[in-house]
Amino acid sequence: MFTTKCKKFKGEIENYLRIGQHYFDVKIDRAFCSLKIKTWLCRSNILKRDGYPASHLLLVLFMLPVLRLNTINTFCNKQWYQWSGARRDTFYRFKHRAYRWRSFFYQVIIEIFRHLGLDKDPVQDRYFVIDDSVIAKRGKLMQNVSFIYDHSLGRSVLGYCVVTLALFTGNGFYPIDFSYWFSKTCHPKSPDKNIGDPRSVSGQMSYEANCYSKPQLAIRMLKRATSRGLRAGYVLFDSWYAWPSFINEIRQISQQLHVICRLKDTMTQYEYRGKKYRLSKLYQKVKDSFRKSKRTGLLLERVTVTIPGSNENATIVFAKGYREPQQDTVKGKKKTKEPQWVAFLSTDTRLQTPTIIRKYTKRWSAEVFFKESKQLLGLGKEQSNSFQSQVFATTNSFLRYAVLSYLNEREYKTSTGGLFEALADGSAIITYARKLWDFFRGLFEISFLKIFELFQIEDDFQPYFSVIDQTICASAPFRGCET
């Protein structure tokens, strides 16, 4: 049973809902209720037997970036008891414990899709997106950190690699699963890797990260997603994953699941008109046959080939003039030369040539997701040495993005970044009001103390002071919330 009562938070939320003051915490608290966060926590066996409920701790940790706070220590030092009376050790124990976060996150995502009526949309308008991102860490003593090559920096950094599976619905982008990946190269001062038993909840994530490659992790995530009823018409990924074996494994999961990806020139040979060619040699065969597309403005040419390792046909589209959306430039990084031509592969040979290009460009939503998650939602900012805390922090960042995308699709119809800024501005108003009242409350407390001493009043002034405090809090724009 829970030993700490939090009725005050819930009562204030109900009061503000009744009088119609819809601030940012009300919206998030209402989203937590409608998505049954507390129910899915319980069904995933994420419970706090003593102290504050798990739903309360998760909500406070969820709100930290919106409150412009980086750590739990910063939150506790501010003593914002209107939000939570829990101490830092309570939050640390909650983050460090091995819970079934993957199972919980899937339940929340499925609930979001149920509210949005995703099953009513054609499956061809939904896309699985596979991508990975490097989370750099400075701490050499963190569990399981290793050197990961960061393509955006052009060098290896100490940290983790997070392989992510997401679903693009046309109106929103939703992360649905992730896996860590460790390299074999570690820092000399780092402790030995702590790899757990794959049969246990605490060891499953670290075992997968150490024993599987990134394509294998992506295949496992695709199988988990489809087994839970999540469907899409296409899988999108960049040239790093574009290996024939990887494409063939995806096609074996479901024949209704097609692949659209960008290709790179490797030693892989594709069969074309009875002969086998490398990608660059195949380009030489068709370079004089390019035609300009009115829909894309690009010079395009397509060929039908056989994928190595299978008897399945696929379409390769060569394009001239294609450019990826502009990325943020890193200071000191050498600019890469734009290629003269690029190639894309689609296992759905029925698609028109411009349609293949248009569908592939939806993969860029993954880049936007990682950028906003790192800049706004705290992805990669966890400072704990515990690997379980890192897993929770990534889950919490993905949960923030999914809930904000849900609110955005239901109410705002704007970008996720714009929605975050609107919520953060609301928190700034409440934070300023709270600081102002804390100043006057201290002034009133000293005044009461001096008045009672001057007139030698033996009664306790705290009851009088509590009435004033409750009256001010009932009419001022600051409060906390509890799901």
- Beta pairing partners, 319: 300, 342
3-state secondary structure of 57: helix
- Report yes or no: 153 and 333 within 8 Å, Cβ to Cβ: yes
SS (H, E, C) 315-336: EEEEEECCCCCCCCCCCCCCCC
User: What is the pLDDT of the chain when averaged over all its residues?
Assistant: 82
Quote the tokens at residue 218.
């992506």
Of 124, 126, 168, 130, give the one whose Cα is nearest residue 351: 124
- Cα 176 to Cα 222: distance, rounded to the nearest angstrom: 10
- Cα 312 to Cα 86: distance, rounded to the nearest angstrom: 58
Out of 2-16, 100-114, 148-162, 206-220, least confident range: 2-16
- Report yes or no: 344 and 353 within 8 Å, Cβ to Cβ: no
Residues 6+ apart with CB under 8 A from 226: 253, 254, 257
Taking CA 171 as the corner, what is the angle to CA 112 and CA 107, rounded to the nearest 5 degrees?
A: 15
Of 109, 217, 129, 130, give the one whose Cα is nearest residue 170: 129
Task: Provide CATH code, domain 101-413.
Answer: 3.90.350.10
Tell me the per-residue pLDDT of 403-422, one tens digit each, with 9 for 90 and over: 988 888 877 555 555 555 55
- Cα 138 to Cα 315: distance, rounded to the nearest angstrom: 44
> Checking DSSP bridges between strand 291-292 and strand 275-278, what pairing results, if any?
unpaired
Of 228, 259, 227, give the one whose Cα is nearest residue 130: 259
Specify the pLDDT at position 167. Answer: 95
Of 163, 172, 168, give the one whose Cα is nearest residue 230: 168
- Report yes or no: 269 and 260 within 8 Å, Cβ to Cβ: no
pTM value is: 0.80
Report the pLDDT averaged over residues 69-82: 80
Specify the pLDDT at position 10. Answer: 37
Tell me the per-residue pLDDT of 290-300, one tens digit each, with 9 for 90 and over: 898 888 888 99
3-state secondary structure of 400: helix
Given a cut of 80, whether residue 325 has pLDDT beyond it is no
Using alpha carbons, list the distances in angstroms from residue 412 to 30, 405, 418: 15, 10, 9
Quote the tokens at residue 82.
């209107």
Confidence of residue 18 (pLDDT cuts 50, 70, 90): very low
Given a cut of 80, whether residue 50 has pLDDT beyond it is no
Cβ atoms within 10 A of the Cβ of 136, count? 14
**Could you give the residue range(s) of every CATH 3.90.350.10 domain in the chain?**
101-413
Quote the tokens at residue 401.
């993005």
- Report yes or no: 246 and 235 within 8 Å, Cβ to Cβ: no
Quote the tokens at residue 262.
């960008």
Tell me the per-residue pLDDT of 364-391, one tens digit each, with 9 for 90 and over: 889 889 998 998 888 999 988 999 999 9
Out of 17-31, 112-126, 304-318, least confident range: 17-31
Of 211, 252, 207, 257, give the one whose Cα is nearest residue 237: 257
